[in-house]
């Protein structure tokens, strides 16, 4: 992942694509910080957490503003580095299989099983709403 980002930084520099270049440089910075940390985490985890922070910050800016447009563009660039996204139907199916495999399913036990399977591939807040819906029957 780190090598891919480094190569794409060069490509973005040649293309004079500033928004892409800024996102890739920040991502590379996060990778370097991770390499030097005491408890390094997987590179995909870095991308997922950065993308989540960027997505969460969209709501802070008014609709149609320049900052919001920049952040939305960042999300599009980051989505190229995220794992393939799951659709709602696939997550509902996963939840159904988890609920049927647990003796006494509750929110905590289902989310504990579900979270690692959907991390970075589906919105956690939406997933918890789907779990509540599934548990209510």
Q: Give the CA radius of gyration of the chain.
A: 18
- Per-residue pLDDT of 41-75, as tens digits, reads 999 889 999 998 998 899 899 988 999 999 999 99
Q: Say if residue 23 is in the same domain as residue 71.
A: yes
Among candidates 93, 56, 95, 100, which has minimal Cα distance to 74? 56
**What pTM was estimated for this model as a whole?**
0.74
Q: Say if residue 8 is in the same domain as residue 44.
A: yes
Q: How many domains, the chain?
A: 2
Q: Say if residue 73 is in the same domain as residue 99.
A: no
Domain boundary among 62, 79, 96: 79
Domain boundary among 79, 112, 128: 79
Q: Say if residue 93 is in the same domain as residue 113.
A: yes
Range of the domain at 53: 2-79
The helix/strand/coil state of 18 is helix
- Per-residue pLDDT of 74-99, as tens digits, reads 999 998 998 888 999 999 999 999 99
């Amino acid at each position: 992942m780190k090598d891919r980002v480094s190569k794409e930084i060069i490509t973005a520099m040649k293309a004079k694509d500033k928004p892409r270049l800024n996102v890739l440089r920040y991502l590379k910075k996060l990778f370097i910080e991770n390499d030097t940390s005491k408890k390094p985490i997987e590179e995909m985890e870095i991308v997922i957490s950065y993308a989540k922070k960027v997505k969460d910050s969209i709501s802070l800016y008014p609709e149609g503003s320049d900052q919001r447009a920049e952040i939305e563009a960042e999300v599009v660039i980051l989505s190229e580095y995220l794992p393939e996204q799951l659709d709602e139907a696939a997550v509902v199916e996963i939840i159904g299989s988890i609920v049927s495999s647990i003796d006494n399913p509750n929110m905590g036990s289902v989310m504990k099983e579900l979270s690692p399977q959907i991390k970075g591939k589906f919105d956690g807040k939406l997933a918890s709403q789907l779990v509540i819906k599934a548990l209510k029957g």
